[in-house]
Structure 1
Amino acid sequence: MAPYSVFLFMPAGPGPGRYALPPTVGYINHDYTKPSSPAYSFHSRMSSNMVSVDSSPGPQYHVDAKMTRFGRDGAPSYSMLGKKKKTADTFQTPGPGAYSPEKAPPLNLHYRPPSYTMAFRTRYRIVDPVPPPNRYTLPNLFSSHVPHKRSSASFTMSARRKAGGPSEDLSMTPGPSRYNRTDPSIYLNRQPSFSMQSRSNIPTDATSKPGPGTHSPEKVTAHLHRAPSFSMGVRHSEFVTPLIVDVLD
Protein backbone atom coordinates (compact mmCIF):
# COMPACT_ATOMS: atom_id res chain seq x y z
CA MET A 1 0.00 0.00 0.00
CA ALA A 2 2.89 2.42 0.62
CA PRO A 3 4.25 2.53 -2.96
CA TYR A 4 0.73 2.96 -4.27
CA SER A 5 0.06 5.92 -1.98
CA VAL A 6 3.31 7.65 -2.98
CA PHE A 7 2.45 7.34 -6.64
CA LEU A 8 -1.05 8.61 -5.98
CA PHE A 9 0.02 11.83 -4.26
CA MET A 10 3.08 12.62 -6.41
CA PRO A 11 2.62 15.96 -8.26
CA ALA A 12 2.31 15.63 -12.00
CA GLY A 13 3.75 19.10 -12.89
CA PRO A 14 7.36 19.83 -13.88
CA GLY A 15 9.96 20.58 -11.25
CA PRO A 16 11.56 23.93 -10.52
CA GLY A 17 14.45 23.13 -12.83
CA ARG A 18 12.16 23.00 -15.84
CA TYR A 19 11.29 26.68 -15.60
CA ALA A 20 13.69 28.94 -17.48
CA LEU A 21 13.39 32.47 -16.10
CA PRO A 22 15.56 35.21 -17.59
CA PRO A 23 18.74 35.79 -15.58
CA THR A 24 19.21 38.83 -13.37
CA VAL A 25 23.00 38.69 -13.62
CA GLY A 26 24.91 40.21 -16.49
CA TYR A 27 23.73 42.38 -19.32
CA ILE A 28 22.74 39.94 -22.08
CA ASN A 29 19.17 38.54 -21.83
CA HIS A 30 18.68 40.34 -18.54
CA ASP A 31 15.22 40.26 -16.94
CA TYR A 32 13.63 43.53 -18.02
CA THR A 33 11.38 43.55 -14.94
CA LYS A 34 14.43 43.82 -12.68
CA PRO A 35 16.85 46.77 -12.43
CA SER A 36 20.33 46.05 -13.74
CA SER A 37 23.60 47.38 -12.33
CA PRO A 38 26.57 48.37 -14.48
CA ALA A 39 28.33 45.31 -15.97
CA TYR A 40 32.09 45.06 -16.29
CA SER A 41 34.42 42.40 -17.66
CA PHE A 42 37.86 41.28 -16.52
CA HIS A 43 40.80 42.27 -18.65
CA SER A 44 43.45 39.80 -19.61
CA ARG A 45 46.58 39.48 -17.49
CA MET A 46 49.06 42.23 -18.15
CA SER A 47 52.47 41.35 -19.49
CA SER A 48 55.39 41.28 -17.08
CA ASN A 49 57.79 42.86 -19.58
CA MET A 50 59.57 45.95 -18.46
CA VAL A 51 58.82 47.65 -21.75
CA SER A 52 55.15 47.99 -22.56
CA VAL A 53 54.25 46.42 -25.86
CA ASP A 54 51.52 48.45 -27.56
CA SER A 55 49.35 46.18 -29.65
CA SER A 56 46.65 48.72 -30.40
CA PRO A 57 45.95 49.49 -34.05
CA GLY A 58 46.62 53.25 -33.55
CA PRO A 59 44.72 56.23 -34.88
CA GLN A 60 44.75 54.93 -38.43
CA TYR A 61 41.42 53.23 -37.84
CA HIS A 62 38.43 55.55 -38.02
CA VAL A 63 35.25 54.37 -36.36
CA ASP A 64 32.12 55.95 -37.78
CA ALA A 65 30.18 58.08 -35.30
CA LYS A 66 27.01 56.16 -36.14
CA MET A 67 28.51 52.87 -35.01
CA THR A 68 27.57 51.98 -31.43
CA ARG A 69 28.02 48.85 -29.37
CA PHE A 70 24.46 47.88 -30.24
CA GLY A 71 24.94 48.31 -33.98
CA ARG A 72 24.64 51.08 -36.53
CA ASP A 73 22.59 54.08 -35.44
CA GLY A 74 20.69 56.20 -37.95
CA ALA A 75 17.96 56.06 -40.55
CA PRO A 76 17.77 53.06 -42.86
CA SER A 77 19.47 53.46 -46.22
CA TYR A 78 18.41 51.90 -49.48
CA SER A 79 19.93 51.41 -52.89
CA MET A 80 18.47 50.98 -56.36
CA LEU A 81 18.32 47.36 -57.47
CA GLY A 82 18.95 46.37 -61.04
CA LYS A 83 16.04 45.57 -63.30
CA LYS A 84 15.09 41.91 -63.39
CA LYS A 85 14.99 40.03 -66.61
CA LYS A 86 11.57 39.00 -67.80
CA THR A 87 11.02 35.28 -67.84
CA ALA A 88 8.07 33.04 -68.41
CA ASP A 89 7.51 32.72 -64.68
CA THR A 90 7.68 36.45 -64.00
CA PHE A 91 4.34 37.79 -62.81
CA GLN A 92 3.19 40.82 -64.76
CA THR A 93 1.47 43.21 -62.34
CA PRO A 94 -1.48 44.98 -64.03
CA GLY A 95 -1.39 48.76 -64.18
CA PRO A 96 -3.99 51.17 -62.74
CA GLY A 97 -5.84 51.33 -66.05
CA ALA A 98 -6.55 47.59 -66.01
CA TYR A 99 -8.88 47.90 -63.04
CA SER A 100 -12.59 48.75 -63.48
CA PRO A 101 -14.10 49.11 -60.01
CA GLU A 102 -17.28 50.65 -61.45
CA LYS A 103 -18.12 47.32 -63.14
CA ALA A 104 -17.91 45.30 -59.95
CA PRO A 105 -21.31 44.06 -58.69
CA PRO A 106 -22.48 45.28 -55.27
CA LEU A 107 -21.26 43.04 -52.48
CA ASN A 108 -22.25 42.72 -48.82
CA LEU A 109 -25.50 44.65 -49.36
CA HIS A 110 -23.64 47.73 -50.61
CA TYR A 111 -25.61 50.33 -52.50
CA ARG A 112 -24.45 51.13 -55.98
CA PRO A 113 -23.88 54.84 -56.60
CA PRO A 114 -25.84 56.49 -59.41
CA SER A 115 -24.28 56.28 -62.86
CA TYR A 116 -24.77 58.72 -65.72
CA THR A 117 -23.94 58.81 -69.40
CA MET A 118 -23.41 61.61 -71.86
CA ALA A 119 -26.40 62.00 -74.21
CA PHE A 120 -25.99 62.91 -77.86
CA ARG A 121 -26.64 66.38 -79.19
CA THR A 122 -30.30 67.20 -79.82
CA ARG A 123 -31.40 67.75 -83.37
CA TYR A 124 -33.03 71.14 -82.82
CA ARG A 125 -30.66 72.93 -80.51
CA ILE A 126 -32.22 75.82 -78.63
CA VAL A 127 -29.98 78.76 -77.89
CA ASP A 128 -29.30 78.72 -74.18
CA PRO A 129 -29.47 82.27 -72.74
CA VAL A 130 -27.37 81.26 -69.76
CA PRO A 131 -23.74 82.35 -70.28
CA PRO A 132 -20.98 79.75 -69.91
CA PRO A 133 -18.72 79.69 -66.83
CA ASN A 134 -15.88 81.49 -68.64
CA ARG A 135 -18.08 84.54 -69.16
CA TYR A 136 -18.26 85.32 -65.45
CA THR A 137 -15.60 87.61 -64.05
CA LEU A 138 -14.92 88.52 -60.46
CA PRO A 139 -14.52 92.19 -59.59
CA ASN A 140 -11.04 93.59 -59.49
CA LEU A 141 -9.59 93.71 -55.97
CA PHE A 142 -7.39 96.71 -56.74
CA SER A 143 -8.51 100.22 -55.73
CA SER A 144 -11.49 100.98 -53.50
CA HIS A 145 -14.36 100.02 -55.83
CA VAL A 146 -15.12 96.64 -54.23
CA PRO A 147 -17.84 97.23 -51.59
CA HIS A 148 -17.38 93.97 -49.62
CA LYS A 149 -13.55 93.95 -49.48
CA ARG A 150 -11.26 96.01 -47.31
CA SER A 151 -8.94 98.31 -49.21
CA SER A 152 -6.20 100.71 -48.34
CA ALA A 153 -6.34 104.41 -49.08
CA SER A 154 -6.18 105.15 -52.81
CA PHE A 155 -5.23 108.41 -54.42
CA THR A 156 -5.35 109.80 -57.96
CA MET A 157 -3.49 112.60 -59.69
CA SER A 158 -5.79 115.54 -60.36
CA ALA A 159 -5.64 117.78 -63.39
CA ARG A 160 -3.97 121.18 -63.28
CA ARG A 161 -6.14 123.93 -61.83
CA LYS A 162 -7.02 126.81 -64.09
CA ALA A 163 -5.26 130.11 -63.55
CA GLY A 164 -6.96 132.34 -61.00
CA GLY A 165 -8.98 129.49 -59.49
CA PRO A 166 -9.80 128.97 -55.79
CA SER A 167 -6.39 127.33 -55.23
CA GLU A 168 -4.70 130.64 -56.17
CA ASP A 169 -7.31 133.23 -55.24
CA LEU A 170 -8.61 132.51 -51.74
CA SER A 171 -11.48 134.97 -52.20
CA MET A 172 -13.13 132.50 -54.59
CA THR A 173 -13.29 129.69 -52.07
CA PRO A 174 -16.82 128.78 -50.90
CA GLY A 175 -18.03 130.07 -47.57
CA PRO A 176 -19.30 127.99 -44.64
CA SER A 177 -22.90 128.29 -45.84
CA ARG A 178 -22.08 126.45 -49.07
CA TYR A 179 -21.30 123.19 -47.28
CA ASN A 180 -24.12 120.80 -46.48
CA ARG A 181 -24.27 119.71 -42.87
CA THR A 182 -25.16 116.09 -42.19
CA ASP A 183 -28.01 115.65 -39.75
CA PRO A 184 -26.55 114.21 -36.49
CA SER A 185 -29.61 111.96 -36.20
CA ILE A 186 -28.22 109.90 -39.10
CA TYR A 187 -25.03 108.71 -37.35
CA LEU A 188 -25.96 109.38 -33.66
CA ASN A 189 -28.85 108.46 -31.41
CA ARG A 190 -31.82 110.65 -32.19
CA GLN A 191 -32.82 113.11 -29.48
CA PRO A 192 -36.47 113.84 -28.68
CA SER A 193 -37.98 116.51 -30.94
CA PHE A 194 -40.89 118.86 -30.24
CA SER A 195 -43.06 121.22 -32.30
CA MET A 196 -45.19 124.31 -31.49
CA GLN A 197 -48.90 123.66 -31.63
CA SER A 198 -51.44 126.24 -32.79
CA ARG A 199 -53.39 128.32 -30.28
CA SER A 200 -56.21 126.34 -28.68
CA ASN A 201 -59.69 127.90 -28.27
CA ILE A 202 -60.96 128.48 -24.73
CA PRO A 203 -64.24 126.63 -24.19
CA THR A 204 -67.01 129.24 -23.75
CA ASP A 205 -70.80 129.30 -23.35
CA ALA A 206 -72.93 130.83 -26.06
CA THR A 207 -75.58 132.15 -23.65
CA SER A 208 -75.74 135.91 -22.81
CA LYS A 209 -74.31 136.83 -19.43
CA PRO A 210 -75.48 139.99 -17.55
CA GLY A 211 -72.83 142.61 -16.88
CA PRO A 212 -72.08 144.27 -13.53
CA GLY A 213 -74.42 147.20 -14.24
CA THR A 214 -77.38 144.89 -14.59
CA HIS A 215 -77.31 143.81 -10.96
CA SER A 216 -79.27 145.82 -8.32
CA PRO A 217 -78.32 144.45 -4.91
CA GLU A 218 -80.24 147.29 -3.20
CA LYS A 219 -83.51 145.89 -4.48
CA VAL A 220 -82.95 142.47 -3.03
CA THR A 221 -85.47 141.63 -0.32
CA ALA A 222 -84.95 137.87 -0.16
CA HIS A 223 -83.11 138.02 3.18
CA LEU A 224 -84.18 141.49 4.40
CA HIS A 225 -87.46 143.01 5.68
CA ARG A 226 -87.28 145.73 3.10
CA ALA A 227 -84.87 147.07 0.63
CA PRO A 228 -82.25 149.48 2.00
CA SER A 229 -82.91 153.18 1.39
CA PHE A 230 -80.56 156.14 1.61
CA SER A 231 -81.11 159.91 1.70
CA MET A 232 -78.95 162.97 1.36
CA GLY A 233 -78.23 164.65 4.76
CA VAL A 234 -77.74 168.36 5.70
CA ARG A 235 -74.33 169.92 5.05
CA HIS A 236 -72.76 170.92 8.38
CA SER A 237 -70.63 174.04 8.90
CA GLU A 238 -66.97 173.71 9.68
CA PHE A 239 -67.29 176.19 12.55
CA VAL A 240 -69.88 174.34 14.59
CA THR A 241 -68.56 173.48 18.06
CA PRO A 242 -68.54 169.73 18.61
CA LEU A 243 -70.45 168.26 21.51
CA ILE A 244 -68.15 167.34 24.36
CA VAL A 245 -69.57 165.15 27.08
CA ASP A 246 -67.73 164.27 30.28
CA VAL A 247 -67.50 160.54 30.72
CA LEU A 248 -67.57 159.38 34.29
CA ASP A 249 -65.24 156.59 35.18
Structure 2
Amino acid sequence: MTEVVRRRPLIAGREKGPGPGRYALPPTIGYVNHDYTKPSSPAYSFHSRLSSNMVSVDSSPGPQYHVEAKITRFGRDGTPSYSMLGRKKLSAGTFQTPGPGAYSPEKAPPLNGHRQPPSYTMAYRTRYRSVDAIPAPNSYTLPNLLGSQIPNKSSSASFSMSSRRKSGGPSEDLAMTPGPGHYNSTEPSIYLNRQPSFSIQSRHSIPSDATRKPGPGTHSPERVIAHLPRPPSFSLGVRHSEFVTPLVIDATD
Protein backbone atom coordinates (compact mmCIF):
# COMPACT_ATOMS: atom_id res chain seq x y z
CA MET A 1 0.00 0.00 0.00
CA THR A 2 1.46 3.34 -1.12
CA GLU A 3 1.67 6.09 1.46
CA VAL A 4 0.14 9.34 0.34
CA VAL A 5 2.23 12.43 1.22
CA ARG A 6 0.21 15.54 1.75
CA ARG A 7 1.91 18.73 0.59
CA ARG A 8 1.32 21.82 2.59
CA PRO A 9 1.51 25.36 1.22
CA LEU A 10 4.83 27.19 1.58
CA ILE A 11 5.00 29.63 4.46
CA ALA A 12 7.78 32.20 4.60
CA GLY A 13 8.10 31.78 8.35
CA ARG A 14 8.96 28.10 7.99
CA GLU A 15 11.67 28.71 5.40
CA LYS A 16 15.11 29.04 6.96
CA GLY A 17 17.74 31.08 5.19
CA PRO A 18 20.79 33.26 5.97
CA GLY A 19 20.19 36.57 7.72
CA PRO A 20 21.33 40.02 6.54
CA GLY A 21 24.59 39.63 8.47
CA ARG A 22 25.64 36.71 6.33
CA TYR A 23 26.08 38.86 3.21
CA ALA A 24 29.43 40.63 2.78
CA LEU A 25 28.07 43.88 1.32
CA PRO A 26 29.59 47.30 2.13
CA PRO A 27 27.42 49.41 4.42
CA THR A 28 25.51 52.42 3.15
CA ILE A 29 25.51 54.14 6.55
CA GLY A 30 28.44 56.10 7.87
CA TYR A 31 31.65 57.25 6.28
CA VAL A 32 34.06 54.36 6.86
CA ASN A 33 33.88 51.56 4.24
CA HIS A 34 30.88 53.17 2.61
CA ASP A 35 29.50 51.61 -0.59
CA TYR A 36 31.03 53.67 -3.41
CA THR A 37 28.12 52.80 -5.71
CA LYS A 38 25.68 54.63 -3.45
CA PRO A 39 25.52 58.38 -2.81
CA SER A 40 26.68 59.47 0.60
CA SER A 41 25.73 62.56 2.58
CA PRO A 42 28.28 64.67 4.45
CA ALA A 43 29.43 63.13 7.73
CA TYR A 44 29.89 65.18 10.86
CA SER A 45 31.58 64.31 14.14
CA PHE A 46 30.71 65.44 17.66
CA HIS A 47 33.40 67.39 19.44
CA SER A 48 33.89 67.30 23.15
CA ARG A 49 32.07 69.86 25.24
CA LEU A 50 33.96 73.10 25.55
CA SER A 51 34.69 74.64 28.89
CA SER A 52 32.19 77.20 30.07
CA ASN A 53 34.92 79.24 31.75
CA MET A 54 35.73 81.65 28.92
CA VAL A 55 37.87 83.92 31.13
CA SER A 56 40.66 81.58 32.11
CA VAL A 57 40.55 79.23 29.13
CA ASP A 58 41.00 80.81 25.68
CA SER A 59 40.10 78.31 22.98
CA SER A 60 40.57 80.56 19.93
CA PRO A 61 43.35 82.91 18.81
CA GLY A 62 42.65 86.62 18.98
CA PRO A 63 43.42 89.36 16.45
CA GLN A 64 47.06 89.39 17.58
CA TYR A 65 47.88 86.68 15.07
CA HIS A 66 48.69 87.81 11.56
CA VAL A 67 48.59 85.28 8.74
CA GLU A 68 50.53 86.35 5.66
CA ALA A 69 48.69 86.61 2.38
CA LYS A 70 51.10 84.15 0.77
CA ILE A 71 50.19 81.38 3.23
CA THR A 72 47.52 79.00 1.94
CA ARG A 73 46.13 75.80 3.33
CA PHE A 74 48.68 73.96 1.20
CA GLY A 75 51.61 76.06 2.39
CA ARG A 76 53.35 79.07 0.85
CA ASP A 77 52.47 79.95 -2.69
CA GLY A 78 55.08 79.71 -5.43
CA THR A 79 55.20 83.35 -6.54
CA PRO A 80 58.74 84.80 -6.65
CA SER A 81 59.68 87.41 -4.10
CA TYR A 82 62.23 90.16 -4.57
CA SER A 83 63.98 92.54 -2.23
CA MET A 84 65.99 95.73 -2.71
CA LEU A 85 69.48 95.37 -1.28
CA GLY A 86 72.53 97.60 -1.34
CA ARG A 87 75.17 97.28 -4.01
CA LYS A 88 77.79 94.71 -3.11
CA LYS A 89 81.43 95.61 -2.96
CA LEU A 90 83.46 94.12 -5.79
CA SER A 91 86.54 92.23 -4.81
CA ALA A 92 89.81 92.28 -6.70
CA GLY A 93 89.24 89.01 -8.61
CA THR A 94 85.53 89.49 -9.35
CA PHE A 95 84.52 89.48 -13.01
CA GLN A 96 82.59 92.56 -14.07
CA THR A 97 79.84 91.98 -16.59
CA PRO A 98 79.94 94.57 -19.43
CA GLY A 99 76.90 96.76 -19.94
CA PRO A 100 74.87 97.21 -23.15
CA GLY A 101 77.01 100.19 -24.21
CA ALA A 102 80.15 98.09 -24.28
CA TYR A 103 79.01 96.13 -27.34
CA SER A 104 79.11 97.30 -30.98
CA PRO A 105 77.00 94.83 -32.98
CA GLU A 106 77.00 97.12 -36.03
CA LYS A 107 80.76 96.57 -36.44
CA ALA A 108 80.48 92.78 -36.59
CA PRO A 109 81.04 91.34 -40.10
CA PRO A 110 78.21 89.30 -41.67
CA LEU A 111 78.43 85.63 -40.77
CA ASN A 112 76.80 82.58 -42.35
CA GLY A 113 75.42 84.62 -45.26
CA HIS A 114 73.38 86.97 -43.10
CA ARG A 115 72.09 90.09 -44.80
CA GLN A 116 73.39 93.39 -43.50
CA PRO A 117 71.57 96.72 -43.83
CA PRO A 118 73.42 99.62 -45.50
CA SER A 119 75.65 101.66 -43.22
CA TYR A 120 76.61 105.30 -43.61
CA THR A 121 79.27 107.45 -42.00
CA MET A 122 79.74 111.18 -41.64
CA ALA A 123 83.28 112.11 -42.70
CA TYR A 124 85.00 115.49 -42.74
CA ARG A 125 85.58 117.48 -45.93
CA THR A 126 88.50 116.32 -48.08
CA ARG A 127 91.40 118.76 -47.99
CA TYR A 128 92.34 118.11 -51.65
CA ARG A 129 88.97 119.34 -52.91
CA SER A 130 89.43 122.94 -54.02
CA VAL A 131 86.31 123.66 -56.15
CA ASP A 132 82.88 122.35 -55.36
CA ALA A 133 81.44 121.11 -58.66
CA ILE A 134 77.94 120.52 -57.30
CA PRO A 135 75.77 123.61 -57.86
CA ALA A 136 73.81 125.05 -54.98
CA PRO A 137 69.98 125.16 -54.98
CA ASN A 138 69.99 128.86 -55.93
CA SER A 139 72.02 128.15 -59.05
CA TYR A 140 69.06 126.68 -60.90
CA THR A 141 66.65 128.91 -62.83
CA LEU A 142 63.17 127.34 -62.85
CA PRO A 143 60.14 128.89 -64.54
CA ASN A 144 57.88 130.94 -62.33
CA LEU A 145 54.77 129.11 -61.16
CA LEU A 146 52.84 132.25 -60.14
CA GLY A 147 50.35 133.81 -62.51
CA SER A 148 48.32 132.58 -65.48
CA GLN A 149 51.02 132.78 -68.20
CA ILE A 150 52.31 129.22 -67.77
CA PRO A 151 50.97 127.02 -70.58
CA ASN A 152 51.88 123.58 -69.17
CA LYS A 153 50.79 124.12 -65.51
CA SER A 154 47.34 124.41 -64.00
CA SER A 155 46.69 127.78 -62.41
CA SER A 156 43.95 129.29 -60.28
CA ALA A 157 42.04 132.45 -61.05
CA SER A 158 44.23 135.56 -60.96
CA PHE A 159 43.00 139.00 -59.99
CA SER A 160 44.61 142.42 -60.26
CA MET A 161 44.10 145.60 -58.21
CA SER A 162 43.80 148.79 -60.25
CA SER A 163 44.30 152.33 -59.07
CA ARG A 164 41.52 154.48 -57.67
CA ARG A 165 39.39 156.11 -60.33
CA LYS A 166 38.98 159.82 -60.76
CA SER A 167 36.70 161.77 -58.48
CA GLY A 168 33.02 161.51 -59.36
CA GLY A 169 33.23 158.03 -60.80
CA PRO A 170 30.62 155.30 -60.30
CA SER A 171 32.22 154.33 -56.99
CA GLU A 172 31.31 157.76 -55.57
CA ASP A 173 28.33 158.83 -57.67
CA LEU A 174 25.86 155.95 -57.87
CA ALA A 175 23.88 157.80 -60.55
CA MET A 176 26.66 157.05 -63.02
CA THR A 177 26.41 153.32 -62.41
CA PRO A 178 24.83 151.58 -65.46
CA GLY A 179 21.48 149.90 -64.83
CA PRO A 180 20.40 146.38 -65.80
CA GLY A 181 18.90 147.67 -69.07
CA HIS A 182 22.22 149.06 -70.20
CA TYR A 183 23.69 145.60 -70.83
CA ASN A 184 22.89 143.54 -73.92
CA SER A 185 22.11 140.11 -72.57
CA THR A 186 22.13 137.10 -74.87
CA GLU A 187 18.88 135.20 -75.20
CA PRO A 188 19.16 131.85 -73.35
CA SER A 189 17.59 129.95 -76.28
CA ILE A 190 20.76 130.60 -78.30
CA TYR A 191 23.14 128.60 -76.08
CA LEU A 192 20.57 126.41 -74.22
CA ASN A 193 17.81 124.04 -75.31
CA ARG A 194 14.84 126.12 -76.42
CA GLN A 195 11.58 125.42 -74.58
CA PRO A 196 8.18 125.55 -76.27
CA SER A 197 6.72 129.06 -76.45
CA PHE A 198 3.05 129.98 -76.38
CA SER A 199 1.17 133.19 -77.19
CA ILE A 200 -2.27 134.50 -76.19
CA GLN A 201 -4.48 135.57 -79.10
CA SER A 202 -7.89 137.20 -79.32
CA ARG A 203 -11.14 135.23 -78.80
CA HIS A 204 -12.36 133.38 -81.88
CA SER A 205 -15.95 133.87 -83.03
CA ILE A 206 -18.23 130.80 -82.79
CA PRO A 207 -19.47 129.75 -86.24
CA SER A 208 -23.27 130.07 -86.41
CA ASP A 209 -26.13 129.81 -88.90
CA ALA A 210 -28.90 132.40 -89.18
CA THR A 211 -31.51 129.92 -90.44
CA ARG A 212 -34.20 128.68 -88.07
CA LYS A 213 -34.12 125.02 -87.12
CA PRO A 214 -37.19 123.02 -86.05
CA GLY A 215 -37.26 121.72 -82.49
CA PRO A 216 -37.87 118.13 -81.30
CA GLY A 217 -41.64 118.71 -80.98
CA THR A 218 -41.97 119.68 -84.58
CA HIS A 219 -41.29 116.18 -85.85
CA SER A 220 -43.83 113.28 -85.73
CA PRO A 221 -41.89 110.04 -86.37
CA GLU A 222 -44.90 107.90 -85.45
CA ARG A 223 -46.77 109.08 -88.54
CA VAL A 224 -44.07 107.99 -90.95
CA ILE A 225 -45.20 104.85 -92.87
CA ALA A 226 -42.74 104.99 -95.74
CA HIS A 227 -40.88 101.88 -94.54
CA LEU A 228 -43.66 100.28 -92.40
CA PRO A 229 -47.04 98.81 -93.38
CA ARG A 230 -48.72 100.93 -90.78
CA PRO A 231 -47.66 103.21 -87.93
CA PRO A 232 -47.10 101.50 -84.56
CA SER A 233 -50.03 101.55 -82.15
CA PHE A 234 -50.03 100.83 -78.42
CA SER A 235 -52.86 100.08 -76.01
CA LEU A 236 -53.24 99.62 -72.25
CA GLY A 237 -54.39 96.07 -71.29
CA VAL A 238 -55.94 94.68 -68.11
CA ARG A 239 -53.86 94.12 -64.95
CA HIS A 240 -52.86 90.49 -64.47
CA SER A 241 -52.90 88.76 -61.08
CA GLU A 242 -49.51 88.31 -59.41
CA PHE A 243 -50.52 84.80 -58.34
CA VAL A 244 -50.82 83.46 -61.88
CA THR A 245 -48.10 80.92 -62.68
CA PRO A 246 -46.03 82.10 -65.62
CA LEU A 247 -45.82 79.93 -68.68
CA VAL A 248 -42.48 78.13 -68.74
CA ILE A 249 -41.62 76.34 -71.97
CA ASP A 250 -38.47 74.35 -72.55
CA ALA A 251 -36.43 75.84 -75.33
CA THR A 252 -35.57 72.40 -76.73
CA ASP A 253 -39.19 71.55 -77.49
Please say whether Structure 1 and Structure 2 have the same fold, judged by a TM-score greater than 0.5.
Answer: no
Scaled by the length of structure 2, the TM-score of the pair is 0.29
